[in-house]
């Protein structure tokens, strides 16, 4: 009874706003100007890795452009959702015959940012399927010692002040992001784990089906919104 899931008060499509719109002017300016956006360094590394032969080939040996790809991820295949990082690692191990890259490693963030950057400005495409459904169940379930569901902050109370922080709507439009608080680049999963830790819950491990399902639901929630990778967040 106490762990019932809540009826999501979904945000009407026309009222959706990227986290960008909740940021101060300086942070927006930092994101907008490619030369001051700290993610620049990861993009440069990503380009190097893209062209570098690792194992039997370089990414660029097989692929020309990645335009539009990030707007369609996570992708569901065989009943399982696969996110962009996992797809990149699948290519590394299966196609390049190279070792997969660790979650949150500089290399994986760099390659992911490089790939996702090519979809900047493109609308998110996401359909509904049973993995999205599973993601929504996680989004609306109360959890942690504070017993709060994602939806209670991000659907019901966005725009309000949680102490000194404005609660955004939780749209995954800018990932991987450069986060000022981390002084580092980080993936969407890192952000989701942060919110779980915030409600004093045990975060799901990187790459777990639960986190990818959540990513998928967030992309559906943000369908049609434009990607802005690499975003800067406070």
Partner 1 sequence: MRFLLLILPFLFFGKALGDDAIPASLTGAKGDPQRGRAIVANRQVGLCLLCHSGPFPEERFQGNLAPDLRSAARLTEGELRLRLVDPARANPQTIMPAYYRTEGLTRVAPSLRGKSILTAEQIEDVVAYLVTLK
Residues assigned a catalytic role: 195
| Torsions phi, psi for 38 (to 5 deg) | -60, -20
Picking from 77, 171, 188, 185, the residue whose alpha carbon sits closest to that of residue 124 is: 171
Smallest distance, partner 1 to C-beta of residue 145, A: 5
Please list every residue from 156 through 215 that binds partner 1, using CB under 8 A: 156-157, 160-164, 196-197, 200-202
β-sheet bridge partners, residue 185: 178
Residue nearest to ligand HEC (CB): 19
Map residues 71-110 to x or -, x wherever contact with ligand HEC holds by CB under 6 A: ----x-----------xx--xx--xx--------------
The C-alpha atoms of residue 175 and residue 185 are separated, in whole angstroms, by 9
The position carrying tokens 């950057």 is: 117
The C-alpha atoms of residue 207 and residue 43 are separated, in whole angstroms, by 22
Smallest distance, partner 1 to C-beta of residue 50, A: 38
Map residues 5-44 to x or -, x wherever contact with ligand HEC holds by CB under 6 A: --------------x-------------------------
Residue 210, classed as helix, strand or coil, is: helix
The C-alpha atoms of residue 213 and residue 208 are separated, in whole angstroms, by 9
Residues found near partner 1 in the complex (CB under 8 A): 1-3, 6, 141-148, 152-153, 156-157, 160-164, 196-197, 200-202
């Amino acid at each position: 009874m106490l762990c019932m899931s809540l009826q999501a008060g979904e945000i009407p499509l026309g009222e959706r706003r990227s986290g960008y719109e909740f940021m101060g002017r300086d942070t927006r300016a930092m994101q907008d100007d490619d030369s001051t956006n700290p993610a620049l360094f990861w993009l440069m590394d990503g380009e190097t890795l893209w062209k570098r032969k690792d194992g039997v080939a370089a990414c660029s040996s097989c692929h020309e452009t990645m335009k539009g790809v990030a707007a369609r991820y996570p992708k569901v295949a065989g009943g399982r959702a696969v996110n962009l990082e996992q797809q990149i690692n699948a290519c590394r191990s299966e196609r390049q015959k190279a070792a997969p890259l660790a979650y949150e490693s500089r290399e994986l963030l760099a390659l992911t940012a490089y790939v996702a950057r090519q979809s900047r400005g493109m609308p998110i495409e996401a359909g509904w399927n049973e993995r999205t459904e599973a993601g929504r169940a996680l989004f609306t379930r109360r959890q942690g010692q504070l017993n709060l569901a994602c939806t209670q902050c991000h659907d019901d109370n966005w725009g309000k002040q949680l102490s000194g922080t404005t609660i955004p709507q939780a749209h995954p439009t800018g990932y991987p992001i450069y986060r000022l608080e981390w002084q580092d680049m980080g993936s969407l999963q890192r952000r989701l784990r942060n919110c779980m830790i915030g409600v004093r819950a045990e975060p799901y491990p990187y790459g777990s089906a639960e986190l990818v399902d959540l990513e998928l639901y967030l992309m559906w929630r943000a369908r049609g919104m434009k990607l802005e990778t690499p975003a800067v967040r406070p």
